[in-house]
Chains A and B, each alone.
Chain A
Amino acid sequence: MFIGKRPYARLTLLLLILATLALTSCSGSAVPANWPGLSTDGENLYVAYGAGVLGIEAATQDVLWSYRPENASLFFYAPPSVENGRAIIGDFGAAQGLFSPQTVVSIYGLDVSDRNAQPIWTRNDLAKDRIVAGPLQVDGVAYVATADNLLLALEVETGEELWRFATEFSIWATPTYYEETLFVASLDRHLYAIDATDGSEKWAIELSGAMSAEPVVNPENNLVYAASYDRELHAIDIDSGNEVWAVQATDWIWSAPALANGTLYFGDSSGNVFAVDAADGEVLWESGVHAMNTVAGVTQNPPLEIKGAIQASPAVHNGMVYFASLGNGASEEGLLVALDAASGDELWQVTTPAPLFADPVIVDDVIVIAMQSEAGILQAYELETGDLSWSFQAPEN
């Protein structure tokens, strides 16, 4: 209407079209907005990645079930929670239309008892921002944390809301359940203890950094551990909510520590790894403290060095602790390192096809990693040797 056959008007139009293309391409809805979510029940693997969610038998890598909603612009990255043939998942939301300001985020209850997973309910009226944290199912109740500051308690069978608890900022961490108490770490720097029956707050402690790591409960010492961006791992008394001790890392701690045999293992964003006594926080070993013996110019026992930030929780099995890292940053590769849990000595390391953000899981005598890679979204390595056992590509449909 305003653009005729005038050359300068055409130039204006061209500029505007270029601006439109550039700006809309910036929105990048087709680009993966997160790394895959991976969980396990010890036998099967559950993967949320891109437009779908999958259940996979770990031993055979057969797809047990899959779910992909009709809306192809939806993405799933929060690890699914699967119990008794019911999967609870949340998506990253999608705009209602090209120019719609409304984003709809849905939480799904799926019947995954046969190959074709069917939603038994879908709630798109609860969350207004992404579901980043994996849901948790306990005794027929699903606890779902949202990026719009909510912890929701939903009936697994019906999706009915039982209660909600609001924090001051997003929750990216799966809540931890222990004796009718939910421990919730929030980006608002608080660790909350919430009564799981009614959603009331038992106590809250403010730390000096935001948290995206799932709290870890140690009943033996009556402690709950909170890893924080304040570069510390905090031990909090389960009953009172008071800090008992804290151990200093060198950088942000993104993910939960692994607790095994009275020792906590964790890594930080600088690639340093630590083993501390779970009772008192005494550092048992850490990277960079190994003695170097140089013989004839050759370093015999180099300091432990894991290249790249550690953003995933470690996994512990049979006296070995496994750390996944983002690699050295110069390449698009990641690193999987196995250490002796007692000494911290490196046993093996393998370079992975992509940086590792998601927590590795141990199932069926292999350690499985999830990644954004053309080589496969899952790869499994032998626990003892680090040899590649299998790769899994997401089915196209």
Chain B
Amino acid sequence: MWDLLIINPITNALLWLYAVLGNNFILALTVFTIFTRIIMLPLNLRQQRSMVKTQEIQPQIRAIQQKYKDNPQKMQEEFQRIGYNPAESLSGCLPLLATMPILFGLFQVLRLVLGSTPQTLFELTQRVYPGIDLTNLLPIDSTFLWLNLGQPDPLYILPILVFVTMFVQTKFTSPSAPKKDDSKNKGGKGKEQQDDPTAAMTQSMQYTMPIMFGFFSLSFQSGLSIYFVLSNLIGIAQGLYTRRVMAEEKEALARQKELKAMGLNGGVSIPEAEMPVADPMPDANETKNNTSTQGNKNQSKRKRRSAKR
């Protein structure tokens, strides 16, 4: 089933791209990476939006957690009221999990397609779809610059690139970490991260993922490392785009509120569901004072900017 659904389609997709792109394997790999990122785009965007949104309503979440720690049912109701679903906190892993089959598949496919043994070539012949003429494609050119795409990078450049791009990507696609002094007041950073699983997870992934994948790349085929680098670069671009779009939405929201406050109706309309809940729990002032967040700070910055205007 794994072969049928993952290995064979990836193998044939790469071979087909190699054929139509003038027998250029690096180009085929690039197009393949872009294609897989496009497929994953809705999932990634949704997850990124969800993370940012969750972080913005952290004060409300913590206040609810504090107030209803002995009443889980009521806590859930309140979470629902502010549009927070705790299960979504775990969605940070989802894009990673979803790309794992492609990652594992590509590892095996590169071994097959760029393999330098008769056995791997024989295996390849067993997987090729009828429409692809392998005779005309062989030998598959696996060289790119100083690299043999079927072997690890001997100059250690790709592992460094994998680490750097993955680290930057994680930075761009995850919400900013809470400031240290914010968490000092209530149980320290550990307490903060326990309350905010998304932050805890993204923070640990921010470092462990790039380090681990950087190490993997020392022994992986260069082709797979290039897939990582390309995928990360696309992820960085996607992260920048999402941040810009969300910043614009926030600006629009702030403008709408200002106009509302002045008794006017601005032409900008933001769906109610997309609006971050600005007010914390009415009777959770004690918690509110101790857990000001980046979201609140941004809002107050915006207020200051509009006051200047």
Nearest B residue (CB) for A172: B118
Given A12-B204, A99-B218; 14 other pairs, CB 8 A cutoff: A3-B204, A8-B89, A12-B205, A22-B100, A26-B111, A34-B117, A34-B119, A98-B219, A101-B159, A132-B117, A188-B139, A212-B118, A229-B138, A311-B118
Which residues A12-30 have CB closer than 8 A to chain B? 12-13, 15-16, 19-20, 22-23, 26-27
Residues in B neighbouring A99, C-beta threshold 8 A = 215, 218-219
Minimal Cβ-Cβ distance residue in A for B121: A212
Cross-chain contact A95 with B118 (CB below 8 angstroms): no
Q: What residues of A have a CB within 8 angstroms of the CB of B215 in the complex?
A: 99
Q: Is A33 an interface residue (CB 8 A)?
A: yes
Min CB distance, B7 to chain A, in Å? 11
CB pair A129 B207 closer than 8 Å: no
Smallest beta-carbon distance B206→chain A, Å: 8
Do A15 and B96 touch across chains, with their CB atoms under 8 A apart? yes
A353-375 at interface with B (beta carbon < 8 Å): 357
The 0/1 profile, CB within 8 Å of A marked 1, for residues 213-229 of chain B is: 00110111000000000
Given contacts A8-B90, A98-B219, contact A209 B201 (CB under 8 A): no
Q: How far is the CB of A313 from chain B (nearest CB, A)?
A: 13
Interface residues of A in 247-282 (CB under 8 A from B): 252, 254, 269
A7 at interface (Cβ–Cβ under 8 A)?
yes
- A76 CA to B43 CA in the complex, in Å? 46
Indicate if the CB atoms of A13 and B154 lie closer than 8 Å: no
Chain B residues 39-76 with CB under 8 Å of chain A are none
Q: Mark A131-147, 1 if CB is under 8 A from B, else 0.
A: 01000000000000001
Residue A26 contacts which of B104, B118, B197, B209 (CB distance < 8 angstroms)?
B104
Asked if A2 and B208 make an inter-chain contact with CB atoms under 8 angstroms apart, the answer reads yes
Give CA–CA (A170, B209) in the complex, Å. Answer: 36
B205: chain A residues at CB < 8 Å are: 12
CB–CB A34/B116 < 8 A: no
Residues of B within 8 A of A (CB): 89-90, 93, 96-97, 100, 103-104, 107-108, 111, 116-122, 125, 135, 138-139, 148, 151-154, 156, 159, 190, 193-194, 197-198, 200-201, 203-209, 212, 215-216, 218-220
Q: Please measure, in the bound complex, the distance between the C-alpha atom of A20 and the C-alpha atom of B90, giving whole angstroms.
A: 20
Q: Is the CB of A9 within 8 A of B152?
A: no
* A231 contacts partner chain B, Cβ-Cβ < 8 Å: yes
- Indicate with 1 or 0, residue by residue over A212-230, a CB within 8 angstroms of chain B CB atoms: 1000000000000000011
Cβ A357 vs Cβ B204 within 8 A? no
Taking A6-B200, A12-B205 as contacts, is the C-beta distance between A229 and B104 under 8 angstroms? no
Do B203 and A2 touch (CB < 8 A)? yes
**Mask: chain A, 307-334; 1 = CB below 8 Å from B; 0 = not:** 0010100000000000000000000000
In the complex, whether A156 has a CB less than 8 A from a CB of chain B is no
**Chain B at the A interface: SS class:** helix
CB nearest neighbor in B for A269 = B125
Q: Which residues does chain A contribute within 8 Å of B122, judged by CB atoms?
A: 309, 311, 357
Q: Say which residue of B198, B208, B220 sits within 8 Å of A13 (CB atoms).
A: B208
**Majority secondary structure of chain A interface residues (helix, strand, loop or mixed):** loop
A152 within 8 A of B: no
User: How far apart are the CA atoms of A210 and B138 in the complex, in Å?
Assistant: 6
Q: CB-CB < 8 A to B209: which residues of A?
A: 16
B219 with A95: CB separation less than 8 A? yes
Residues of A at the B interface (CB closer than 8 Å) are 1-9, 11-13, 15-16, 19-20, 22-23, 26-27, 33-35, 77, 92, 95, 98-103, 129-130, 132, 147, 169-170, 172, 187-189, 208-210, 212, 229-231, 252, 254, 269, 309, 311, 357
- Cα A345 to Cα B201 with chains together (Å): 70
CB of A103 within 8 A of CB of B135, answer: no
Contact A102 B118 (CB under 8 A): no
A-B contact pairs, 22 of them (CB 8 A): A1-B207, A2-B203, A3-B208, A6-B193, A6-B200, A6-B204, A7-B194, A11-B93, A11-B201, A13-B204, A26-B108, A33-B117, A33-B120, A95-B219, A102-B152, A130-B116, A170-B116, A188-B139, A252-B125, A252-B135, A269-B125, A357-B119
**CA A278 to CA B201, docked complex, whole Å:** 71
Query: Looking across the interface, which residue of chain B has its beta carbon closest to that of A92?
Result: B117
Contact of B153 among A1, A5, A101 (CB under 8 A): A101
Residues of B within 8 A of A98 (CB): 219
On whether the beta carbons of A187 and B89 are closer than 8 Å, the reply is: no
Taking CB atoms, residues of chain A closer than 8 Å to B159 are 101
Select which of B116, B154, B204, B207 is within 8 A of A102 by beta carbon: B154
Contact assessment for A209 and B138 in the assembled complex, using a CB-CB cutoff below 8 Å? yes
A8 touches B201 (CB 8 A): yes
Contacts of B190 in A (CB 8 A): 4-6
How far is A31 from B99 in the complex, measured between Cα atoms in Å? 26
**Cross-interface CB contact of B93 among A12, A129, A208, A269, cutoff 8 Å:** A12
CA distance A31 to B26 in the complex (A): 28
Residues of chain A with a CB closer than 8 A to B120's CB? 33
B203 proximity list for chain A (CB < 8 A): 2
Q: B287: shortest Cβ distance to chain A, in Å? A: 21
Whether A130 lies near B117 (C-beta < 8 A) is: yes
Contacts of B216 in A (CB 8 A): 20, 23
A229 & B135 in contact (Cβ 8 Å cutoff): yes
Interface centre among B104, B117, B198, B206 (most CB of A within 10 A): B117
